[in-house]
C-alpha cells in the first residue's frame, strides 16, 4: 500500500486536527465531538441524535434552506450521524471548495440557533425514523439487545430516543446539552483531500478558533455488574430472530485486535465464515448470520445475530455453541491462523482504499485514542497474534455460559 503520511496539529483553542493528502479531485471533511447518547441523562433520551438533526436547521447567518444548499449547490454532500459516544458532521466536495465547507461547518457548530418552529417539524421526522426502525425487527433487536446487556445504564438506551422523549425537547434542552459537552478540547477535525497545508491550517484557525464557554468536563458513568439474561418475546414476524452475546474488551484493550480476528473468523462478511458455512451452507437453516464486536471507552459488546425459521431455532443455537466451543478448545493450526490473518488484512486494506472511510476512521481514532495507527502498524499487530493468544481470548469472551439471549419468537 501507499505509505500513509498524516499531518497533525492543534488549534489555539484545543481542537485537534488531522489531514491526509491524497491525489484525488474529491475531498472529505469531518467534525467530531466526544458526546453521544451515553452522555444523556434519562430525560434527555435521544437528545444527542436530535442535536445532530437540528444543527442544520438555521444559524445566526443562514436559514435551514441555505445551510442545506451550501454544499448541494456545488455538487457536494452534507451528512451527520450519532453513536453511543460521538456525534459527527461530515461533507464530501471538490477540492476547490475546502473554504466553503470549512466556513459552513464553523457556522453550524458555533452559530446554530435551533429555531422552535424548525425543531417542531424535525420532531415529526425523527419520530417517523423511530417508527420505521420499529417496523424492522432485524434492526430493532440490536437496540433491545443493548438494553438487555447494559441494563439501567446509558449504553443500553438507543440513540434515537422515544416519541415521548423527542416531543419533549426544546431549544433550551438542546443548548443545555451542548454547553455540557461541546468543549473544544473534545473536538476533532479530520480531512482527506488535496489542499495546500498552510492554507488549510489558516482556514481552520480562522473559522474554528472560537472559545466555547462550558462547564466542567462531562464525566461518563462507567458500566459494571453485567449479569447474563435470557428473554423471549412474541412478535408478529415472518422469522424468528435471535441475538446472543456478552460484554467484551474496551476500545483500548490489548486483546481487541485478537477478538476482532475471532469475530471475523466466526461470522464476518466473508462467505467462508464458520457460522455461515455451518448454518447456511451445510444445513440451510438461515439466510442472515453475522457477528459484531463493538467497543466503547470502558467496555465492549460481542454479539451474534441470526434470523431463521422458527423450526430451526434450537438447532441454530446448538450449532453456534459447537463453533464457539471449538474455538475455546482447539487452537488454530498454522495454516488456519495464516488464512485468518490474510483475510482480515485484506479487509482492512480494502476499507482504507475509500477516502471517506479513512477520513472518518482517522478522526474517530484521534478522538478516542489521540493517535492514528498506520497500515503498517495495524498489519504488525495482526501478524503478531498467536494461536495461544487467540485461544485465551476465546475462553475469556466466547463462552456461552456468560452469554445473554434475546429471542423474537414468531406468534
User: Between β-strands 26-33 and 87-94, what pairing exists: parallel, antiparallel or unpaired?
Assistant: antiparallel
Strands 26-33 and 16-21: what pairing?
Answer: unpaired
State mean pLDDT over 362-375: 93
As a whole number of angstroms, the distance between CA 300 and CA 85 comes to: 12
Q: 108 and 145 share a domain?
A: yes
Q: Can you tell me the mean pLDDT for 26-43?
A: 96
Q: Say which residue the cell 418552529 belongs to.
A: 117
Q: Which residues contact 65 (CB under 8 A, 6 or more apart)?
A: none
99-114 pLDDT, tens digit per residue, is: 999 999 999 999 999 9
**151 in the same domain as 235:** no
Query: Helix axis angle, 116-134 relative to 47-54, nearest 10°?
Result: 120
Of 208, 239, 274, which residue sits at a domain end?
208
Q: Which of 208, 238, 255 is the last residue of a domain?
A: 208
Crossing angle of helices 116-134 and 137-149, rounded to 10° = 100
User: Cβ neighbours of residue 280 under 8 Å, at least 6 residues apart?
Assistant: 286, 287, 289
Q: Does the structure show a pLDDT above 60 at 1?
A: no
Are residues 74 and 94 in contact, defined by beta-carbon separation less than 8 angstroms?
yes
Interval 174-204: pLDDT, tens: 999 998 888 899 999 999 999 999 999 999 9
213 within a domain of the structure (yes/no):
no
The pLDDT tens digits of the residues spanning 218-236 come to: 789 999 999 999 999 999 8
- Residues 315-342, mean pLDDT to the nearest whole number: 96
- 340 in the same domain as 300: yes
Task: Give percent above pLDDT 70 in the chain.
Answer: 98
The set of cell numbers assigned to 61 is: 447567518
Rounded-to-integer distance, Cα 116 and Cα 105, Å = 21
Are 43 and 128 found together in one domain?
Answer: yes
DSSP 29-41: EEEEES--GGGS-
Cα 51 to Cα 95: distance, rounded to the nearest angstrom: 28
CA dist., res. 36 & res. 83, Å (int): 6
Q: How far is CA 85 from the centre of its chain?
A: 8
Q: Is the pLDDT of residue 162 over 70?
A: yes
pLDDT confidence band for 3 (50 / 70 / 90): low
Q: Are 91 and 23 in contact (CB under 8 A)?
A: no
Is residue 1, in this structure, part of any structural domain at all? no
The pTM (predicted TM-score) of the whole model is 0.93
- Could you tell me if 268 and 348 are in contact, meaning their C-beta atoms sit under 8 angstroms apart? no
Question: Domain range holding 105?
Answer: 6-208
Smallest CA-to-CA distance from 256 within 393, 155, 373 is with: 393
Single residue among 177, 208, 239 that ends a domain in this structure:
208
CA distance 239 to 90: 36
**Is residue 214 domain-resident?**
no
Tell me if 216 is assigned to some domain: no
CATH of the domain at 144: 3.30.830.10
Contacts of 336 (CB under 8 A, 6+ apart): none
* Cα(42)–Cα(48) distance, integer angstroms: 12
DSSP string, 129-187: HHHHHHT-HHHHHHHHHHHHHTTTSGGGS-SS--HHHHHT--HHHHHHHHHHH--GGGE
Q: Which three cell numbers stand for residue 121?
A: 417539524
- Cell numbers at residue 166, please? 423527542
* Cα 192 from Cα 21, distance rounded (Å): 6
> Which secondary-structure segment (H or E) carries 411?
none
Mean of the pLDDT values across residues 349-374?
92
Are 265 and 194 in the same domain?
Answer: no
The answer to whether residue 144 is domain-embedded is yes
Q: What is the mean pLDDT of residues 366-381?
A: 92
Contacts of 197 (CB under 8 A, 6+ apart): 7, 19, 21
pLDDT band at 2 (very low <50, low <70, confident <90, very high): low
At residue 311, does pLDDT exceed 80?
A: yes
Do residue 187 and residue 333 come from a single domain?
no
CA distance 49 to 32: 14
Verify that 242 and 172 share a domain, yes or no. no
Q: Which of 213, 239, 47 is nearest to 126 (CA)?
A: 47
Element (H, E) at 121: helix 116-134
Residues 189 and 239 in one domain: no
Number of domains in the chain: 2
CA distances from 324 to 186, 270, 308, 317 (A): 39, 18, 19, 11
C-alpha cell, 236: 408478529
Summarised one tens digit per residue, pLDDT across range 202-222 is: 999 999 998 765 556 678 999
Q: Are residues 150 and 288 in the same domain?
A: no
Please check whether residues 200 and 245 belong to one and the same domain. Answer: no
| DSSP designation for 280 | I
Q: Is residue 36 part of a domain?
A: yes
**pLDDT computed for residue 133 by the predictor:** 86
Q: Looking at the structure, do residues 203 and 249 belong to the same domain, yes or no?
A: no
Given this model, what pLDDT does residue 180 score?
86
**Both 384 and 265 in a single domain?**
yes
Indicate whether 220 belongs to any domain.
no
Residue 223 lies in a domain: no
- Sign, CA dihedral 139-144-148-151, equals positive
- The Cα 135–Cα 302 span in angstroms is 25
**What average pLDDT does the chain have?**
94
CA-closest candidate to residue 143, choices 134, 240, 40, 36: 134
Q: Which pLDDT belongs to residue 410?
A: 85
* pLDDT for position 213: 59
Amino acid at each position: 500500500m501507499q505509505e500513509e503520511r498524516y499531518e497533525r496539529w492543534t488549534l489555539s483553542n484545543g481542537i485537534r486536527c488531522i489531514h491526509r493528502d491524497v491525489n484525488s479531485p474529491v475531498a472529505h471533511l469531518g467534525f467530531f465531538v466526544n458526546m453521544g447518547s451515553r452522555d444523556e441523562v434519562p430525560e434527555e433520551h435521544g437528545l444527542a441524535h436530535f442535536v445532530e438533526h437540528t444543527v442544520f436547521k438555521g444559524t445566526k447567518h443562514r436559514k435551514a434552506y441555505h445551510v442545506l444548499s451550501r454544499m448541494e449547490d456545488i455538487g457536494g454532500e452534507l451528512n451527520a450521524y450519532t453513536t453511543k459516544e460521538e456525534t459527527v458532521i461530515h461533507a464530501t466536495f471538490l477540492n476547490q471548495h475546502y473554504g466553503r465547507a470549512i466556513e459552513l461547518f464553523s457556522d453550524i457548530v458555533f452559530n446554530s440557533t435551533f429555531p422552535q418552529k424548525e425543531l417542531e417539524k424535525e420532531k415529526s421526522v425523527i419520530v417517523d425514523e423511530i417508527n420505521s426502525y420499529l417496523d424492522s425487527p432485524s434492526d430493532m433487536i440490536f437496540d433491545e439487545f443493548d438494553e438487555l446487556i447494559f441494563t439501567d445504564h446509558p449504553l443500553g438506551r438507543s440513540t434515537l430516543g422515544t416519541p415521548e422523549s423527542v416531543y419533549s425537547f426544546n431549544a433550551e434542552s438542546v443548548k443545555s446539552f451542548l454547553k455540557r459537552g461541546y468543549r473544544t478540547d473534545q473536538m476533532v477535525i479530520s480531512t482527506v483531500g488535496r489542499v495546500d497545508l498552510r492554507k488549510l491550517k489558516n482556514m481552520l484557525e480562522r473559522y474554528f478558533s472560537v472559545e466555547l464557554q462550558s462547564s466542567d468536563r462531562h464525566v461518563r458513568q462507567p458500566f459494571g455488574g453485567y449479569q447474563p439474561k435470557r428473554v423471549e418475546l412474541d412478535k408478529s414476524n415472518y422469522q424468528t430472530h435471535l441475538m446472543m452475546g456478552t460484554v467484551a474488551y474496551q476500545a483500548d484493550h490489548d486483546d481487541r485486535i485478537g477478538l476482532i480476528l475471532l469475530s471475523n473468523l466466526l461470522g464476518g462478511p466473508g462467505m467462508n465464515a464458520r457460522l455461515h458455512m455451518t448454518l447456511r451452507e451445510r444445513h440451510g437453516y438461515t439466510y442472515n448470520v453475522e457477528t459484531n464486536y463493538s467497543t466503547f471507552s470502558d467496555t465492549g459488546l460481542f454479539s451474534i445475530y441470526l434470523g431463521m425459521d422458527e423450526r430451526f431455532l434450537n438447532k441454530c443455537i446448538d450449532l453456534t455453541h459447537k463453533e464457539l466451543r471449538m474455538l475455546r478448545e482447539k487452537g488454530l493450526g498454522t495454516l488456519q491462523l495464516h488464512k485468518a490473518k490474510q483475510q482480515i488484512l485484506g479487509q482492512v486494506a480494502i476499507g482504507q482504499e475509500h477516502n471517506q472511510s479513512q477520513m472518518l476512521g482517522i478522526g474517530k481514532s484521534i478522538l478516542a485514542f489521540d493517535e492514528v495507527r498506520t497500515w503498517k502498524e495495524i498489519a504488525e499487530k495482526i501478524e503478531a497474534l498467536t494461536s495461544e493468544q487467540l485461544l485465551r481470548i476465546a475462553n475469556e469472551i466466547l463462552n456461552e455460559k456468560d452469554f445473554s439471549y434475546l429471542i423474537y419468537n414468531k406468534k
